Amino acid sequence: MSSDNAVQPPVAVKKPHRVTFGYVEGEDRGPNPMNPPRYHDDPYFWMRDDDRKSAEVIEHLTKEKAYFEARSADIQSLRDEIYAEHISHIKEDDTSAAYVHGPYRYYTREVKGKSYKIYCRVPKDKEAGDDAAEQVIIDVNQVAEGKAFCDVMEVEPAPPEHDLVAYSVDLSGNEVYTIEFKKVSNEAEKVPDVVTGTNGDIVWGKDHTSLFYLTKDDTLRDNKVWRHVMGQPQSADVCLYEEPNPLFSAFMYKAADSNTLCIGSLSSETTELHLLDLRKGNAYNTLETVRPREKGVRYDVQMHGTAQLLILTNEGGAVNHKLIIASRERPGDWSSVLVEHSEDVFMENTVVRARYLVVAGRRAGLTRIWTMTVDPQDGVFKAGTGLREVEMDEPIFTVHLVESQMAEYEAPTFRMEYSSLATPNTWFDVQPGDHSRVAVKVREVGGGFDAGSYTVERRFATAPDRTKIPLSIVYHKDLDLSQPQPCMLYGYGSYGLCMDPQFNIKHLPYCDRGMIYAVAHIRGGSEMGRAWYEIGAKYLTKRNTFSDFIAAAEYLVESKMTTPAQLACEGRSAGGLLMGAVLNMRPDLFKAALAGVPFVDVMTTMSDPSIPLTTGEWEEWGNPNEYRFYDYMLSYSPLDNVRAQEYPNIMIQSGLHDPRVAYWEPAKWVSKLREYKTDSNEILLNTDMESGHFSAKDRYKFWKESAIQQAFVCKHLKSTVRMLARK
């Protein structure tokens, strides 16, 4: 079937609207708003409907959906083919790596034909999957029955017996969760407690009598920490902590030994943390401050026992962090340094157990893991011991700590997950002393997959300021690189988040069709250390993110690996901002682009404190209400820089209930692109009317969405036939 080229895209009406930048009476526009303010005309502002109920908006999005379906008809068979490949690569009946927690061994199962996970356990002396011993805790398929969207975020058994279980569920996609409860031993015994309006986090107290949760303010900012006592109504819950500053969000977690609740606030640049002694009962509400907030000082606290604090911090100019030991009695005394700051090693987070600690971080652009054990004489950590790096077998890889599967404070081993662009995920239990390891699960990849059929490389592009930008590249070993080939270039580059060279079956349909898949490790992430983000591409250096990505694309072309007519690009969320900016700056470099939930209306969104996330992200992008940032942010904001020029073929995905990047941003962008562009290339918008920012949680629906996007790329790059099929 061919696409209907005669069908016309919907044309959005224009309505006069003036957006204000700077001072607005009665609004928090930041500490130094422009006064008098400045104004922009936004004729598509009417698309914003915070309630998602406007008949006019829904009608417009529905017309966009119909246009998307009509123009995608010609790739229906290719989409089905790629979808079948994805399903062949996953093990539809599968069990996760199991781990011990209290009296049980926990794991999840997936069943062929069912969309969601089933949370299970067996007594810890049994093996996962033992049918006779298995207890089903939560079957998400049952929770989701009759629902268009379902996300079960956390499933937490209550100590010490683990009979009472709490789980958080979002049925709309707006990331507001309800916490419900069940008795595993007697499902017929209904637990009346229900906690609504939470962010989904669940932390039990010392036992099953109380739990802690977070709620949000009107802008969906996590701002309050509460204690709920089981058997009481939510109206009786006690607020332990409130963060009034809109730049900060509240958070909480329980220390590894389960005796202390850590409660705090953090912004992009500053942290403040407090301790609550859980041993003192449900009526004890006194918080101990570790260190009052100080602009620019971030820190994370882990407890070793109940007396020793291990604090990872950037204090004193330690951009890549240092690790400090402090006492519970004097938590603000940071004079004892356990691990000094290093220019070469970026320590990102620390996990502490009774006899060892594990540091996860980065060196030479790749993820790494280091360990330190306690002094065997007195059982404490000692300065001068040093960190020991866990060695890996491949030159290019990704390794992560799996802290969610490290539930036991006295455990002798830690859990790590390893993969590369060609090596499927393996979960290991590792001895912290000698780093010997045992594989507890290896991901099975079907559909004829052979890791030896793919080549993985690391190359470097050169940015305009001569900075070397790493690229991770994978392709089929039979691909003829003596001539240019179709290529997909992926990027993100914000918040210090890294796009690591890890295994994903999503790459395989590209590689198996003779395409190169490349990841650009651009500034804005932290791949080369924290300065790669903080100094390299934040605030008034943000444009480096875009020029780095352009340099990566130019490198692929100049090295004759591909050509602009064979090059596609992809980014999601803040990576969608990357796509929008780059396509305005260098549309000639690309034939096709995928933009998922793209943050493209930077100026309007970041000027409005009523929009979720805005105020907290003034420390990421800057605040366009201030003179200092207005012109610089305006110079790259995608929607504000659409111009009369040719653009590549673009497919855009959005979610109606997305609280992070509201649906109206991509909807406005599409309308303006169609208004200005001077070519006949496709601009398609696919809005999922039932999901939010993170797309479908139904695994089959997720892979169908991926398949249609990949089919779009393959069509425009003319890479539609599998290499493996030609052998």
Active-site positions read 573, 658, 693
Burial classification of residue 221, based on how many CB atoms lie within 10 Å of its CB (0-12 exposed, 13-18 middle, 19 or more buried): buried
448: left (phi over 0), alpha (psi -120 to 50) or beta: left
The Cα–Cα gap between 246 and 120 comes to: 39
Token pair belonging to 255: 């220390």
User: CB 417: neighbour CB atoms within 10 A?
Assistant: 18
Of the candidates 8, 18, 13, 17, which has an alpha carbon nearest to the alpha carbon of residue 56?
A: 13
Q: Are 75 and 4 in contact (CB under 8 A)?
A: no
Other CB atoms within 10 A of residue 383 CB: 13
Helices 699-717, 76-89: inter-axial angle, 10-degree rounding: 130
CA distance 658 to 660: 6
Distance CA 686, CA 690 (A): 12
Q: What is the residue whose two structure tokens read 């268009």?
A: 148
Beta partners for residue 120, in sequence order: 107, 136
Cβ-based neighbour number of residue 355 at 10 Å: 16
Rounded-to-integer distance, Cα 630 and Cα 622, Å: 8
Tokens of 723: 């290499």
Other CB atoms closer than 10 Å to residue 56's CB: what's the count? 11
Length of the chain: 727
Rg (CA), the chain: 26
How far, in Å, CA of 350 to CA of 271, rounded?
Answer: 16
Distance CA 662, CA 660 (A): 6
Question: What residues does 18 pair with on adjacent strands?
Answer: 41
437 CB-contact burial (10 Å; exposed 0-12 / middle 13-18 / buried 19+): middle
